[in-house]
Amino acid sequence: MENKTMLAFYDRYPVTKTHCLVVPRRHCLDYFSLSKEEQIDLQELLHSLKDLLLAQDKTITGFNIGANCGEDAGQTIFHCHVHLIPRRAGDMQNPAGGVRGVIPEKQSYKCLFNASKRP
């Protein structure tokens, strides 16, 4: 999938089935180097990908979106790329904490409110 400034494709080393990357056509180091136009195009492409993946795979029940910015944040490819990682019920034992899991001992924590109880 693509638009004016962005390209999307499946990750070569997927975390889950249909894990995608969105990258700018222009070389830039990381998410914070994107122009305003690229940021808008990135958001539009993420939404389009989400809709496509949900239409193709009814087992998807959530998504993680992430970008590693800098070596100390785990960036190993020094060209901006944003991960769209489909999630499915039961794909890990305890998904609570989500992206906090980049530092495993910080993933599990006590929350003062239960966000799963939506009004």
Decide if 66 is inside a domain. yes
Decide if 113 is inside a domain. no
Total structural domains within the chain: 1
pLDDT at 66: 95
Residue 81: which of 33, 17, 113, 115 has the closest Cα? Answer: 33
pLDDT at 90: 92
pLDDT tens per residue, range 77-93: 999 999 999 999 999 88
The residues that bridge with 60 in the sheet, in sequence order, are 88
Decide if 109 is inside a domain. no
Decide if 30 is inside a domain. yes
Higher per-residue confidence, 20 vs 96: 20
Decide if 29 is inside a domain. yes
d(CA 13, CA 48): 22
Decide if 107 is inside a domain. no
Decide if 64 is inside a domain. yes
Quick count: other Cβ atoms within 10 Å of Cβ 82? 22
Give, in order, the Cα–Cα distances in Å from 77 to each of 26, 33, 72, 82, 118: 15, 14, 12, 11, 38
Decide if 97 is inside a domain. no
Domain that holds residue 10: 6-92
pLDDT at 117: 52
Domain with residue 86: its CATH number is 3.30.428.10
pLDDT tens per residue, range 13-69: 999 999 999 999 999 999 999 999 999 999 999 999 999 999 999 999 999 999 999
Chain-centroid distance of CA 44 in Å reads 13
